[in-house]
Amino acid sequence: MKNKLVAEILYEIADLLDIKGEIFFKTRAYRMAAQTIEMLDEDIETVTKEGRLRSISGVGEALAKKIQEIVETERLDYLEKLKKEVPEGLLGFLEISGLGPKKISALYRNLNITTIEELRKACVDGKLRSLDGFGEITERNIIRGITLKEKTSGRVLLNLAYIDGNSYLEYLKKFDKIDKVSLAGSLRRMKETIGDVDILASSDYADEVMDYFVGYDNVQRVLLKGSTKTSVLLNDNLQVDLRVVKKESYGAALQYFTGSKEHNVKMRGIAIKKGFKLNEYGLFNKETDKYIVGRDEKEVYNKLGLSYVEPELRENRGEIEVASNNKLPDIVGYNDIHGDFHVHSLWSDGTDSIETIADHAQKLGYEYVCIADHSQSLKVANGLSEDRVVKKIKEIEKINKKLKDFRVFCGTECDIKPDGTLDYSDSILKKFDFVGVGIHISFKMDKEEITQRIIKAMENKYVNFVAHPTCRIIGRREPFDLDIDKIFDVARETNTFLEINCFPDRLDLNDIHSKMAKEKNVQFVLGTDAHNLNHLSFMQFGIATARRGWLEKKDILNTYSLKEVEKTLGV
């Protein structure tokens, strides 16, 4: 699948054109197309082969030609040409807070600065202040921006932002001059990585709210402070923005600041077509500026002829079109889960006994938990030999006898060997209640080989699910280059569940793949891959991913009651 490659190249062109001083709308066209292709729920190669590129929204004649070239040659002449015109280092400058295309261009044209080191030195030496639009403060801010960029690589994993964001939220809720307050931005949409935390509040005392906001213990520095918007940097270098609006604007503002940007652009387009104007203060009559709605988020959607769109769906992946037909899926809820299918115990590399895990799972309101320990060849993780599997099954039987209205399933996360055979014999596999398979060694294989390896495993009749199917680790390991359509087809044919692994640095399958798989009627399980009790709470991130993938209760085994699971699995 080359969707990501195509998107990356288009994004890079947009950045390069920005620095070259190309008009905003042109670079936006590149970014919109890149975003659409990145989120596309089919393979761009297929679309190209079938001559349907122009049917992708935002792709016209020029882009179609470029995309075709990328798909066929995995490169683009136009990009190479642009790269020759714009020194490589300048692209990285865009990540420095306070620097945009115009300033970067000025730095290059006037001072011939092309590397971070040259930039830092020029700031320290006070060379920038001679340029129009630059001053001493700009120099200091750029130095700060460089330091910050070096400290944080930009985005953090969802769970970290989630903790920071919700703690801040609790602090804000204690202030009696705040009427309503909510997370917004990508954190409310539960995106897998978060750039900064956005919070929205309504109040008639904006200035006092801002004073209270910057008084939070965990604040390292105030970045900017106004009466509607204030930004701070937390001690862990995560940025948090607070917006304060009046009550009558709260819904419109929440819609606006939740994003995504692309979702909002589309919303505004619809507003204009219907004779409205939509901004963070409300929905207004375009001609008279008369306020129509804005107090409640739902009203804004409804007034535009749309059903309410859950935050996790707001990525411009077709949700607006579907909402206009009132056909949005009833996506799985955060409280719809009855159990966890992927937990490691002391038997392999987990830190807790099965009894302790079962006890904790009951406290979470679950009816079942599946203990899926590693298999024998994974020595580093204390994988279970076939003998130990038999012993573990006996222990689980004993524990289950003591439990009421709760069941521990004996599972495994059995290794898929490089040739696609499994790490346990069939005679052992059939003893488990629920067999998961996963890859933990020999990651470097070509597309055909790795696809066949997983398919062969799915074809084993004792296999129930594939754990973390693409094996990506966010920020550290790229996903396998799988023939993903084929994987989904075989999963459907063999009734193999695909896991959404809930571990925050995995979230694998991801949202886009989940949506693609659902369209092929694939069934899912959620597994936290917990290695200690705290990890069991990662379930919510898996649910978030499922929601972002448009999954409904019926698509996910964990939403079934214990009885239904037993019946489905025949155990």
Partner DNA sequence: GCCGTTTTCGGCCCGACTGTTTTCAGTCG
Q: What are the residues binding DNA (CB under 7 A)? A: 23, 25-26, 28-30, 33, 54, 57-64, 94, 96-104, 129, 132-139, 141, 185, 195-196, 198, 224-229, 239, 241, 257, 259, 261, 264-265, 268-269, 272, 277, 279-281
* Pairing between β-strand 497-501 and β-strand 465-466 as defined by DSSP bridges: parallel
Q: For residues 440, 444, 449 and 450, what is the CA-based torsion angle, rounded to 10 degrees? A: 40
Contact between residue 359 and residue 340 where contact means Cβ atoms under 8 Å apart: no
Which parts of 101-214 are beta strand (E)?
A: 156-157, 180-184, 193-194, 197-202
Query: Among residues 52 and 102, whose Cβ is nearest to DNA?
Result: 102
Cα gap 186→198, rounded to integer Å = 8
Q: Minimum distance from CB of 316 to DNA (Å)? A: 12
Nearer to DNA, 258 or 523 (CB): 258
Residue whose token pair is 């949005």? 328
Nearest to 383 by CA among 375, 394, 392, 372: 375
Asked if residue 152 lies in contact with residue 145, where contact means CB atoms within 8 angstroms, the answer is no
Of 201 and 526, which has the nearer Cβ to DNA?
Answer: 201
Is residue 551 left, alpha or beta, with left meaning phi > 0 and alpha meaning psi from -120 to 50? beta
Question: Is the distance from CB of 167 to CB of 200 less than 8 angstroms?
Answer: no
Pick 82 or 439: Cβ nearer DNA: 82
Closer of 44 and 361 to DNA (Cβ): 44
CB of 57 to DNA, least distance (A): 5
242 has which bridge partners? 199, 230
For residue 427, the minimal CB distance to DNA (Å) is 57
Q: How far is the CB of 89 from DNA (least distance, A)?
A: 16
Three-state SS at 204: coil
Shortest reach from residue 391's CB to DNA, in Å? 54
In the complex, the smallest distance separating the C-beta of residue 133 from DNA, rounded to whole angstroms, is 5
Closest to DNA by CB, 61 vs 330, is 61
Residue 67 Cβ vs DNA, minimum distance, rounded to whole Å: 9
Q: Which is nearer to DNA, 287 or 330 (CB)?
A: 287
Q: How far is the CB of 267 from DNA (least distance, A)?
A: 9
Nearer to DNA, 248 or 489 (CB): 248
Residue 196: CB minimum distance to DNA, A: 6
Cβ proximity to DNA: between 138 and 494 the closer is 138
Which of 125, 15, 109 shows the shortest CA–CA distance to 117?
A: 125
Nearest to 90 by CA among 105, 110, 78: 105
Q: Quick one: 95 or 449, whose CB is closer to DNA?
A: 95
Mind spelling out the 3-state secondary structure of 484-543? HHHHHHHHHHCCCEEEEECCCCCCECCHHHHHHHHHCCCCEEEECCECCHHHHHHHHHHH
Q: Which residues contact 363 (CB under 8 A, 6 or more apart)?
A: none
* Shortest separation between residue 525's beta carbon and DNA, angstroms: 35
Q: How far apart are CA 475 and CA 431, in angstroms?
A: 37
